Amino acid sequence: MLIKPVSSSHKEDFDRLAPHPLQSWAWGEFRQKMGQKVARFGIFKNQEMIGSFQLFFHQVPHLPFSVGYFPKGPMPTPLMIKTLKKVGQKNRAIFIKLEPNVIKSQKSIHQLADKSQKSELGLTPGKPLFTRHTMIINLEKSEEELMAGFSSKTRYNIRLAQKRGVKIIEDNSQKGFEQYWRLMEETTKRQKFYAHNKTYHQLMWQEMNRAGTAHLLRAVYKGETLAAWILFAFNGVLYYPYGASTRRHQEVMASNLMMWEAIRLGKSLGCKKFDLWGTPGPDPKPDDPWFGFHRFKMGYRPEIVEFIGTYDLVLRPVFYQFYLWADKIRWQFLRLKA
């Protein structure tokens, strides 16, 4: 087995083997345009690429160090960790954060949840950036089977939106993006949570749409856009990473119809699963800020799955402790600002 850097000539194989859209070539291009350094690798056996992964490095302000992020990659192996340490040292990284796209229940001789394996790899549990749980809808069922499996209230709301004349359209134009961003600004102000700026969303949308991965849906009622979602379709899985809505005309249940049409879009694209991109857990408390989103998604009767977690590969222990302290202060400031 050999791991080595890859160039754009490997792009097709790289994407074919990537386990998640955040490991796609287009996502790497987006992160590069946001000022991060991208390191891409192929895993080869007998000259054939059998796996791929990428990670990103962003510079720590006012310091000659960086922090690495390895999001939604494959299960790390000792050989991969050796490669990560080498590229991390080259980029003067304090640590590299790993969040494998691996379900906890999966059986593997390299299971990260095994303490002995974590010790062997030199990883320590880290602060998560992704939620530990997500929700999965099985798109291999027929539309009739899916609809019958929804909660009675969800079915009612979908039909109500259809009866009221809500229309769901795919609009991958710049105008469609501007509608999405207008609602995103409204949503973040209303919910009082931190979100990336317009430049981030614009570049993300451009790169992922150019690659054919991103699809923008709008829910329109009497000429007004009530909700806008950006979906990713990648390697047989549909994802729901970004969504925004207004509180106007809540009575027409536009978001319920949006989810149903997103499911239908995923099926038309040949996707077998729909990953709803996170949930606070199987049984969040009513005062959890994401409880409303959780309850909405649960109406579609998804399966809740748990990932193996978040781990840090620490390369500079002293600076790592300092970074954790500074990051805590930074997030307190961002929450206050939001």
Domain range annotation of the chain: 2-130+308-337, 133-306
Mean predicted confidence (pLDDT) in 119-146: 93
Given the DSSP bridges, would you call strands 133-138 and 273-275 parallel, antiparallel or unpaired? Answer: antiparallel
Q: What is the CATH number of domain 2-130+308-337?
A: 3.40.630.30
**Residue 108 pLDDT > 50:** no
The residue with tokens 């006012």 is 62
CATH topology of domain 133-306: Aminopeptidase (3.40.630)
Q: Which of the four pLDDT bands, split at 50, 70 and 90, describes residue 190?
A: confident
Mean predicted confidence (pLDDT) in 192-208: 91
Residue 124 in tokens? 């320590």
Mean residue pLDDT across the chain: 93
Q: Which of the four pLDDT bands, split at 50, 70 and 90, describes residue 213?
A: very high
pLDDT tens digits, residue range 319-338?
Answer: 999 999 888 887 676 666 65
Q: Is 86 helix (H, G, I), strand (E, B) or coil?
A: helix
Residue 65 in tokens? 């160090």
CA 146, 152, 153, 155 torsion-angle sign: positive
Nearest-5° angle of CA 228, CA 35, CA 317? 110
Q: Which of the four pLDDT bands, split at 50, 70 and 90, describes residue 191?
A: confident
Mean predicted confidence (pLDDT) in 147-162: 98
Report pLDDT for 193. 74
Mean predicted confidence (pLDDT) in 63-89: 96
Please tell me the pTM assigned to this model.
Answer: 0.93
Report pLDDT for 105. 67
Report pLDDT for 101. 96
Q: Which of the four pLDDT bands, split at 50, 70 and 90, describes residue 308?
A: very high
Angle at which helices 198-210 and 25-33 cross, to 10°: 150
Report pLDDT for 109. 40
